[in-house]
Structures are given as C-alpha cells and as structure tokens.
Chain A
Amino acid sequence: MPRSAPAVLLILMVGAVLAFAAVSHLVYRFEANQRVRGYKLYGRGLDDVHNGKLDDAIEAFRAALTCDPGNGQYQLSLARALRDTGNPTRLDEAESYLQSLWQRAPQDGPVNLALGRLAARRGNVEDAVRYYHNAMYGVWNSDSSANRRKARLELIEFLLQKNARAQAQSEIIALTASLPPNPALHLEAANFFFDVEDYLDAFLEYEQTLHLDHTDAAAMTGAGKASYLMGHYRTAEKFLEQAVRANPQDAQSRQLLDTATLVLQADPFVRRISDAERNRRLVAAFQQAGKRLDSCEQVQTAKSGAAVLPLTQLTQQWTAMKANLPRLRSPGETDLPDAIMDLVFQIEQQTASWCGSPQGMDEALFLISRDRESADQ
C-alpha cells in the first residue's frame, strides 16, 4: 500500500466534510426553491378548491407535494380534495395521506377532523365518532374552541343522518354545555334537539336564543312548534303569534297557530271555564265529529260501493249519543261529558285512518284526543 493510509484517511475525511457541507448547501437552496414553488402551487390548488375545480386542485396539490413532499398542510389539503370528489376510489388515497399524517401527530385536530369526515363519507359510524371525538379533544393551532364545536356539530349532523338519535342527543347535550352566548349557536343546538324529538330541551334552547336575541323569528317559530308538539298550546300560541307577526309569510306557523287556537277554543277539559262553556264545547265537538263521520262515510261508501262497518257502527253510536245530549244540563250526569268526548275521539281517530289527516276543527279535536289519551296513559 504505497500511499500513507492515515494521510489518505485524513484527506478523505476533510474532503468528505467539505463535500457534505457543499451538497448540504445545494440541497438547502434547492429545497428552498422547491418550497417556494410548492407554496405557489398550493395557493393555486386552494383557488381551484374555492372555485369548485377539485380535479385541478388535486393536480396542483400533487405538484406542490412533489416540490415539498413532507409538507403536512399540502398532504392534508390533497386528502381533503380527494375526499371531497366523492369518488370512492379516491377515498382510499385520501385516507392513506391522512393516516400517514395521523401517525405523525395523532393529536392533531385538523387531521382527525378530516379523518372523521372521511369516515362519515364512508358511513362508518364507529370510526367517524372516534375521529370526531379526537378532533374535539385534539390540538388546534388557532380558534380551538370554535373548531372543536364545529367538529361536534358535524358529528351531530352525521349521527342524525345515520338516525343514531340517542348518540346524537348526548352530543347535543354536551354541545350546549359549552356554548357561548351566541344566538345562532343556541338556535342550531335547539334545532338539533328538535330533530332528535327532544322538544323540551329544544324549547329551552329556543328560549335561550330569544333571551339573547328577542327578534329571532326562527327561534320564535321553533319555540312555538316545540310547545305545540309537547301539547303546550297556550305557550305555542304565544310564540307562534310572535313568529307570524315577525314573518307574516310564514304559512306553516300560521297554520299551527290556527290549530293551537282552535285546540284552546275547543278543548272541553281545559280548566277555568264555566259549565255552560264546557257543555257548549262538548256539543260543538260532538256536532263537528258527526259531520266528519258523515262525510267520511259517504266518501268511503262511494269508493268501495258498500258500507264500511267501523264507520257505520260509529254512526250508530253517534246517533244513540245524540239522544243523550240534553242530559248534559243535568247536574248528576258526571260521566256523560267523558262518554261524549270518548266517542268524538274515536270518530276522529277512525276517520283519520280512513279518510286522511284531519284539518281545522277536526285536527284540533284529534290533537285533544291524542293528548288526553297520553295523559290517561
């Protein structure tokens, strides 16, 4: 070995250090340029996403990633774009990007949210709940409470879509526990409660919304509807009146208001009315039920060409009961009002099943009968 080994190794070491420094510098410069180029492409991709051009955005994000392969933000945006195309084959690729990001930072809020949305798009309830929860309790660089709330709201929407009402209800309860005094948010929570048929909590949230913004017509309508559905017609009437006043074009509220008013006017069991008024309501209800029965029976007979037995029986009962009406004034006839109203309720329920949903006074009587039935139970 003619060359001195130590001297050669020394020279090689110095050479290696110098070459390493030079190449490092070269790599640094190249990567810096690439990052700038990648950032521009990323910006282009974001514009494409904004303009709904998802395929172009995907290409731009891909190109951005070729310039800056380790950039998590680009990967996240690409994954989101892939996911949002709705193409099932692209969901796999989106997931692989997100999973690799998740493995790097399992506590990352945006990544978990994206994974949650992906699972939701796939209809996978278990994964969606897991990732949305991770997002709610994960790390967010900015506006963490709003982002966490957003994640929970999305989860609730997803659970409602999947008809998982019990899970959704618990999420809504958790949501309302941390809501800031923002009427829009309370209104959203109230609507969610309404969707899971938790009318009491929905009503309370609508009230809270109105407390924060007493001009919110949607909250008035919501509170009215929730009260109406709970059978609290007096309260429903109050809120629905406000809603109709605030928005006279709101036909549904107006209709509900009319029905609620009719219920209040027609209900013979309501407290604090005189005996004469109660008797008047009983007679009016009886007459209305008779008319409804008569018209329904005529329609059904014409349709089928023969008498419909349950309706015929009810007609017979109605005729028999009519003979008893004058006894209402007698003080000893305490069971007669209940017997009359029982027949009215039977007629309204039977005609509803034979001749479709009742309208106006018949609807009011139907609601009274239903509420009374549930009260009895």
Chain B
Amino acid sequence: MKEERSQTTSTGVEREVPVRSHSAPTRVSSADGKSAVRGAFRRTIALFEEVFDEERFFLLLSVFIGIFSGLAVVCFRLAIDWTHLAVLGPLPQAHSWRMFVAPTVAGLIVAALVLHVFPATRGSGVNQTKAALYIFNGYIPFRTAVGKFICSALAIGAGHSLGPEDPSLQIGASLASALGRRVQLSREKLRLMAPVGAAAGLAAAFNAPISAVLFVIEEVIGRWSAGILGSVVLSAVSSVVIVRGLLGSEPLFRIPVTTFKRPAELIAYAILGIVGGIAAVIFAKGIGYLRPKLKALPRWTQYFQPGIAGLLIGLIGYLGFPQVMSAGYNFMDQAMHGQYTWQILAILAALKILATTLSFVSGTPGGMFAPALFVGAMLGGAVGDLERILFPTLASSTGTYVLVGMGVLFAGFLRVPLTSVFMVLEVSGNYEIIVPVIVANTFAYVISRSLEPIPIFDLLTRQDGLVLPSLEEVRDKPVLLVEDAMLPAPAVILSASDFVDAAARRAANSTQIIFPVRMQPTGWSTISSDLIQRLLNEGKGENTIGSLMPTQQLPTLYPDLSLDNALRYVNQFPIVPVINRADPQKLEGLISRDSVFARYQASEGEE
C-alpha cells in the first residue's frame, strides 16, 4: 500500500516522495523482501532529505570543503618542500650556482605553463576568488586549482620570493567551487562556495583559523555577512584540524618570551607602526607601478619575465642573502631569536620588498602573505634593535618587535586591520602583546591609508579592469540611516481606541491629511482625514477607529536601520512609521517616498 506525499525543498523544487505505510506483511516472498529493503532504503533517504534542506546541507558541505582543502594544502606544502629540496637542496648556501639557476629555470617553466596551460593562475589568487564571488557566480575552474598547485609549488620551491598562503586560498576556493557545481547547488549558494573554500585553504596554509576567517571577511567577501559566517568558520576549522592531524601542530615559529611591561614602550611600538606604514606604502606602490608596465610589454616578453625575476632574486641569494628566497619562515624564526643585527634586518626587509615585487609583477603565481610577514618581521626586528640602542629604557625584546612587525605589514600592506591583530595573537598565543599590536597596526594602517588610498588588492583588481566591492570602501562610504531621512512625528497621533467623532474633531483642527494610528495591542496603521469624515457621515461616530479599520498593519522601521530598508516600503505605503526600539508604541517619526529620495539626492550632492 503506497502513499504519495509531496515535499518542497528550500529552493522551491517540488517533488514526489514515496512513503510506505508502516503495516508489515506477516509472510513475504523473496521478491517482496527485496522490494521491502528497497522501500526501507528509500524511506531512509526521504527522511534524510527532509532533514537536509539546502541551508543544513551547505553547512555540512562546508565541513567537507574544509577537509578536502586541508588535504590539498597538505599536498601543496609537501610539493613546495619537495621542490625546494630537489632544486635548492636541504642546505641552501650563498655563492652556489643553484641559487640563481633554480629560480630562473623555474620561472621560465612557470611562464610557459601560465601562458599556455593555466592562464588564470597568475598572481596571488585573492582577487580571482573575490571576482568569482561577485562576477562569475562562484565559478572558478578546477583547472585553476591544478595550475595554481603546480606553478606555485614550482616557483616558491625554486626560490621565488612568494608565499604559499594566497595560492592555498585559491586552491581551496577552486575546489569548493568545483564541488558546489558538482552537487548542483543553487546559484546563491554556489556563489558563496568560493569564500568558504578560500577560508579553508588559507586556514590550512596558515594554521590559523581565526585569521583566515577574518581575512576572508575583510578581503574576499568585503562585507560583514552573518549568513555565511557559520560555513566559513566550519570550513576553516575542519581544514586546520586536517592539517594539524597530518603535519602536526608545531607552530610556524618558536615564539620567544614576549613582554610588555610599561606603557612608555608604546612610543617605541608607535614608531614601528609609522616605519611599517611607510614601508608598506613603498611595497604597494612598487607593485602598483611596475605591474601594469610589465603587463603592457609585448606578449613574448611574458615568457621571460618570471625567469628574469627568478634570476635577479637568485643573484640576491647568491650574493649573500639567501634569506629573501621562497617564503622564508625559518629566517623569520631566526630573526625572532635575535640572530641578525639591525643593519642586516633592515637590508633583508628592503631586499625582500624588491624580490617580492620582482616575483609578483612578473606574473609568477604565488602569494604575498608570507613576504608581507617577512618584511614586517625584519623591519620590526631592525626598528626594535635600533630603538634599544638609542633608547635602552624604551624597547623590549627583539622577538616581541618581530612579532608586532608582522602585524604591522599586514595592516599597512594588505590593509586588513582586524586580521593583522588576530594573526599576531594566533601565531604568538600571547595576549599580553595585544596593546602593542593594536597601537603599531593602527599607526601603520592610518599612515598607509593616507599615503596610498587604494589597498593593494583593490589596486590589482582595478589594474585588471575589474571593480569589486571592498570593506575599506564600505568603511569610507557614509551609511545613510532611516533617521537621516526621517520626518518628525506629526502632532496628531490617533489611537485604535479613539472614537471616530473624537478623531474627526482632532482632524478638523489639524493640517495633516494622513494620521498615524497606534493599533492595539501593538502595531501601527494610518487613516486619512477623508476616511474619518466619511465614517462620521456614515453615522459611525460612536465606533472606535480600530473596529472600522482593516486588520493589516503597516510595516515599521527603526531609526538606526540603513535607509535602504525603507526603499522596500515607500512605494507601497505613503508613510512608514519609524518607532522606538525600546517602546514600539512610541513614534519617532515618519518615512515617506519623497523624504527618502530627497535624502539620497542630498547625499549624492555631498559626495
């Protein structure tokens, strides 16, 4: 005995779900037995499908995206390490011919691959992921993940001055996008797959889930969206679990004892923030200036650009500074433990800016996370050591400065102030330095913003001819609120319990045409003076207004809501009440179509 039951999914697709009755036969034949098993299976599937609406399914999918991204990033890291060992050896030494041959040859191979096989793998990958979210409906070809994996591993492993984090982000996003397409998610969800995968990839690469989540929100999504936050967090955490499970939970650096004892030390950190902000601007301007120049050169030169960049970087290594090659995490670790003098640290910071600029503008696939950290670390160490020489009472340990310096470049160069703070805290596991980090990062961020208004990722996007939203843009743009367009509350406010004749008397003494009506027990409506007069003429003067009005109430707004919210209602209703959040019966003012449009027009004039 079969029953058919209709089920509607969250996407609105209606399907027929077969449901069997629960009465079981006492004796069954073999064929009946098979069909009973099949039926039970279908029932289970149907039950699960009821449980997994698209929202829940998306959340679970985020966990799998995290797992697969984590696994991909583990392989990516192995590939980089393996390449590094194969081409540079376990003990890279200055004055070895490998130092310049390896990045040059790798650059030539990468250029050919990028030009002919994986054209979408140039650069860092952050912008491409953002473009996928905002332009391509979440579509990132799977080939991009493969290309990014191969090209970045080859370039970074061979010594190009780039990091593995941004490529990991794009690999994660690409995997997520491919998975979303494979399981035929709705367009809305598919679009969100890219940032979810990006968070997973970045978290796995950086072993820091909170920073990854914040970075994706600050830089990839570009706006605070609670709807996707759960999925982003789930994917980031699951990828980190996978990476730690497979590669161990050793931190990126051996964190030295970091201290912050006296408030006077903040002066020293402020100086670091200023220096870091200026360095970040030089770094960003260098890339912003050279990248379009090199892109504008004839196409055939693109076959040689990464190779020449590799040669130059290799020469830097050959001439005595192999630290600037590849990501350089182990050298950051050494800087953290006072292995270099301030002069060497300053030189390394300058050379790293040069080397990363060369690698990046040449179109070599790779990220800017690690180079930014490297420059910040070296700069932090240099400034800290110098301050200690000049003002011994002001400065604390080198390790503390190196850590704070990392955050400074993050804030100034990548322009992700929140991520920069949490990144340092997550990496150091020490909340004692939160105040120095905030002070230094704020200075770096403010200086960088004043000297270079366009953040590096936005600059790169614009150079590529795309215009994508950014959180910084949102920060700059004044947000219009309902209260900005709100008309003052009218003098006459009626209540649903008022009698029609009393209301008519009050209306007669007023110039208002429409009167707000406070409904019982809650809610608001409106009544026109004409309607009141008509009701009075119909002899309904002793009736209450509430008993004669339609039950449908008006939508209401709060003064602090964005004015965009009012647009939904102003065409439908002549006035929309703006009420107090604490007391819904209190009318703060009214919104009308004219008042909203007038405010928008005034705002355009202000801009």
Contacts and interface: CB of A to CB of B under 8 A. Distances in A.
Contacts of A6: 44-45, 48-49, 52
A96 B336 CA distance: 10
Contacts of A26: 75, 78
B11 interface: yes
Given A1-B184, A60-B91, A27 B246 contact: yes
Interface string A139-176: 00000000000000000000000000000000000000
Nearest to B330: A66
Interface string B223-264: 000000000000000000010001110100010100000000
Interface in B548-591: none
A5 B71 CA distance: 23
Given A30-B78, A62-B330, A96 B254 contact: yes
Interface string A1-29: 11111111100110110011001101100
A232 interface: no
Contact of A1 (B60, B82, B186, B247): B186
A69 interface: yes
A93 interface: yes
Interface string A72-110: 000000000000000001101100110010000000000
Given A20-B71, A26-B78, A5 B49 contact: yes
12 contacts: A1-B13, A1-B54, A6-B49, A6-B52, A12-B179, A16-B64, A26-B78, A37-B85, A41-B91, A59-B93, A62-B330, A97-B254
Contact of B49 (A4, A12, A23): A4
Contact of B78 (A2, A16, A27): A27
Contact of B64 (A12, A62, A89): A12
Contact of B74 (A4, A23, A62, A89): A23
B10 interface: yes
Interface residues of A, number: 38
B85 A1 contact: no
Contacts of B54: 1
Interface string B40-57: 000011001100111001
A9 B435 CA distance: 45
B337 A93 contact: yes
Interface in B170-205: 179, 183-186
Nearest to B85: A37
Contacts of A7: 45
Contacts of B71: 16, 19-20, 23
Interface string A53-70: 000000110110011011
Q: Which of A90, A93, A100 has the most chain B CB within a 10 Å cutoff?
A: A93
Given A20-B71, A26-B75, A60-B91, A1 B64 contact: no
B334 interface: yes
A37 B337 contact: no
Interface size range of chain B in the complex: 35 or more
A16 B339 contact: no
Interface of B: 9-11, 13, 44-45, 48-49, 52-54, 57, 60-61, 64, 67-68, 71, 74-75, 78, 81-82, 85, 90-91, 93, 179, 183-186, 242, 246-248, 250, 254, 256, 330, 334, 337-339, 398
Nearest to A59: B91
**Which are the 8 A-B pairs with shortest beta-carbon distances?**
A5-B52, A93-B337, A6-B48, A63-B91, A63-B90, A12-B64, A5-B57, A2-B184
* Interface of chain A, main secondary structure: helix
Nearest to B46: A6
Nearest to B49: A5
Contacts of A63: 90-91
Given A4-B49, A5-B52, A60-B91, A16 B68 contact: yes
Given A92-B338, A97-B254, 4 more contacts: A20-B67, A23-B246, A34-B81, A69-B248
Contacts of A92: 256, 337-338, 398
A9 B60 contact: yes
Given A27-B74, A27-B247, A1 B185 contact: yes
Contacts of B45: 4, 6-7
Contacts of B49: 4-6
B250 A1 contact: no
Contacts of B90: 37, 41, 63, 66-67
